[in-house]
Amino acid sequence: MTAPPGAFPVQLRQPSVSGLSQVTSSLYISSGAAANNKLLLSHHQITTVINISAEVVNTRYEGIQYTQVPVADSPISRLCDLFDPIADHIHTVELKQGRTLLHCAAGISRSATLCLAYLMKYHAMSLLDAHVWAKSCRPIIRPNSGFWEQLIHYEFQLFGKNTVHMVSSPLGMIPDIYEKEVQLMIPL
């Protein structure tokens, strides 16, 4: 299911890679360092922090609910087991007028993967549209290949079709949206 034009979750936002990247009116993603910056959390009125890493320890600030799910950034990690529970948690926070910060170590793979799952489930976006949108908000996102496989399976569960497919490349299996990029990297 492709989102209709103008249906993207946030209208005016600036892409960010060092701070908190706003993806929807109530969801941000970031690195672990940004997630521990009290000024950033306060400025963006974050009420919930979800840490999807084992290596980042959150500084806990009063008035913010913290959840930590220790997951390695490895293609064999089963992040798909978290797609529904984390998406549901983000949605529940939004219904209570709160704001969620989803982070991992760098804000590139694990948090981005869970963000894409949330956008598919609660914003009815295809995986392709969710990726285009999230990348416009946080240009450095790049889920690992195992997470892509899990997202592709999840998209099929939700919508009965896929907008992204895994393809063979000189670097191994990659999502087809990276094909041109890989071709430019590999000399003929």
pLDDT tens across 78-99, in order? 999 999 999 999 999 999 999 9
Alpha helices per DSSP H over 2-74: 32-35, 38-43
Domain boundaries, the chain: 21-141
CA dihedral 28, 103, 162, 24 (to 10 degrees): -10
Q: Which residue has the higher pLDDT, 128 or 172?
A: 128
pLDDT tens, 9-54? 544 455 555 689 999 999 999 999 999 999 999 999 999 999 999 9
Q: DSSP state, 5? A: T
Using a pLDDT cut of 70, give the percent of the chain over it.
Answer: 89
Check residue 4 and give its pLDDT.
41
Alpha helices per DSSP H over the chain: 32-35, 38-43, 80-95, 110-123, 127-137, 145-159, 179-185
CA–CA separation, 90 and 101 (whole Å): 9
Active site residues: 104
CATH code for residues 21-141: 3.90.190.10
CA–CA separation, 16 and 33 (whole Å): 14
Q: Is 63 left (phi over 0), alpha (psi -120 to 50) or beta?
A: left
pTM listed for this prediction: 0.90
Q: DSSP state, 56? A: P
Which tokens belong to 96? 């209570």
Phi, psi at 17, each rounded to 5°: -125, -20
